[in-house]
Structure 1
Amino acid sequence: MNIITSTVVFTVDDPAGSRRFFSTHLGFREVLDTPDFTWLSRDDGAADILLRRRDLELAWQSEAQPVVVAYAVTDLAKEYERLRAAGAPITTRLRCDPWGERLMRLTDPNGIVVELTEWIPPSGA
């Protein structure tokens, strides 16, 4: 696996409010905005920020949201098979989203969610 970027993911009730905060006060720019998430970046070495609307897909048992660490990687299908064969705790199976994202999630024993993403051509592109 070759990690090519890092992203900090925040699960929030108001992604637009956080987008305004990070853009206005910290110089981030919007890369992608969807109904469920907003991706922000800078031109320097800062980790990207993904502002995700509260995710009902992940059934967490408490009000506290877990920490999510996201890595953009190469050859995610191969990594998924390797991790599955190794018995890794996969909590979201490999999937492809129409905006050009292939992703999977694992969760560590302390509840830290690791999201592995590979950017692919969007559907219809």
Structure 2
Amino acid sequence: MHIISSAMSPNVDDVVASSNFFTTHLGFHESVAARGFVTLTRPDCADIVPVSRGSRVLPSSIRERLPTGVMVSLTVTDVAAEHERLCREGVPVTVPLRDEPWGERLFQLTDPNGIVVQFVEWVPPAGA
């Protein structure tokens, strides 16, 4: 198998709200927009394709569901600078910047549809 691209497609109630969040604050752009979905793209990560809950393009078994327990994780350089920038922009931080003992520095945001976005930078673990 040779994968040429990847995407995640969460069901959302407001496609426009997710698009505005990801394009305004996270540097994505709309590469395709149509009734009921939008493809949000960056050259350095997988696409995010919010789809309107109830859309007929979704399998009937998940058509009305909203995602739960799903997180978009973005590994970045200088996570502290990203945290500071997003705070300056007034983006609500769901989980503040913290260091985990296994070497993960992270913080989390939540988009208007409940999509959790985690920013991660790997650092030497405490005591290493």
The two structures have a TM-score, normalised by structure 2, of: 0.47
The two structures have a TM-score, normalised by structure 1, of: 0.48
